[in-house]
Amino acid sequence: MGPIRACVGVYGGDSTFTLRLTAVMLVTETKWLMKAIFRSGFLALAIMALAVPANTGPYEDGLAAYRRGDYATALKFWRPLAEQGDAEAQYNLGSMYDQGNGVPQDIAEAAKWWLLAAAQDFANAQNNLGNLFADGRGVPQDDAEAAKWWLLAAAQGFANAQNNLGNLFADGRGVPQDDAEAAKWWLMAAEQGHARAKFNLGVMYRDGRGVPQDDAEAMKWFRKAAEQGDADGQALLGFLYEIGLGVPQEDAEAVRWYRMAAEQGDATGQYNLGVMYANGQGVPQDDATAHMWFTLAAAQGDEEAQKNRDIAASLMTPDQIAEAQRMAREWMEKHQQGRLRPEPAISAR
């Protein structure tokens, strides 16, 4: 289910913009939760920054080579170890094939090496295998198989796997639908600091799904998610300040949270920030800036943003429209540069 919308008037007369109410208002289908499913980049694994003593062995030599970008040398050290059954070397080799570092990109080959490491109970590999089966990358798409591998990683305390498993239980994909089980896994991940799990848990408390309905507890988790940088949580918190639900009504604070979400490329945050500029709520009224944010949201396929951009344009001069378009182009260019492919996670002993 997509976000619910409500109409608000702007500018006076017959021109109207539409303010999107973010997921806070009755998310009734877990598929919406899955739109922003759970991964910080595909691998979603942090490099363990451990000091590597010099000349301590071929694994460490491979790690040093990898860290300086010499993938061919890293491969020379790690492949023999992987073939001998070293789980960490198998995992790292899979990551190199997944990203195409030092080898041609080959997701099926990545899956092969991760499977070998996962069979030795290596949690990172188990989580990544779950990701592959969930997406059908290099392996047949299979939610039940994804659930199997995520469950193994989650049982070892792997937060990403716990969050992913919560999504499957909430949606009934590959496992029986079970809100209580979803909430259980999301709580485990949230307590380890997983931002998306915090947001999902807030939804469960807000709606009373799998946990007792508790607005205060929902607000606690929504705020934690937003403060940790979750864009949906930020857009949601902005909306709560916009309408004064559970927090004091404060347009400037709404704008602050909308802006955080918008700057991350969140279409809802961009859209609602455009509305605030169009209305002059919490910020000086500014048609050009409203047009810019509507343009950015529209570029992500938001039809309401397209309509509102056109309404804004009808109230602007050609020079103002040109300026708004310039600002939108510069924003896209600036933020596109920050969306480089993430470095694969490599295990360090």
Q: How many domains does the chain have?
A: 1
Does a structural domain hold residue 74? no
Does a structural domain hold residue 6? yes
At position 240, the amino acid (one-letter code) is L
Does a structural domain hold residue 181? no
Beta strands in the chain (DSSP E): 4-9, 16-21
Q: Give me the pLDDT at residue 114, please.
A: 98
User: Whole-angstrom Cα distance, residue 4 to residue 83?
Assistant: 53
Low-confidence ranges of the chain (pLDDT < 70): 1-55, 337-349
What CATH number does the domain containing 12 carry? 1.25.40.10
Does a structural domain hold residue 106? no
Does a structural domain hold residue 294? yes
Q: Give me the pLDDT at residue 336, please.
A: 77
C-alpha torsion angle, residues 283, 285, 288, 291 (rounded to 10)? 80
Q: Which domain holds residue 246?
A: 1-35+229-344
Q: For residue 141, what is the DSSP state?
A: -
User: Considering only CA atoms, which of 67, 92, 98 is closest in space to residue 79?
Assistant: 92
Computed on alpha carbons and rounded to an integer, the radius of gyration of the chain in Å comes to: 23
User: Whole-angstrom Cα distance, residue 44 to residue 89?
Assistant: 18
Does a structural domain hold residue 271? yes
Q: What is the pLDDT of residues 260-295, one digit of tens each?
A: 999 999 999 999 999 999 999 999 999 999 999 999
Phi, psi for residue 55 in degrees, rounded to 5: 55, 45
Q: Give me the pLDDT at residue 285, please.
A: 97
Does a structural domain hold residue 122? no
The C-alpha angle 304, 308, 309, rounded to 5 degrees, equals 115
Q: What is the pLDDT of residues 3-24, one digit of tens each?
A: 322 323 333 334 444 454 443 3
Does a structural domain hold residue 147? no
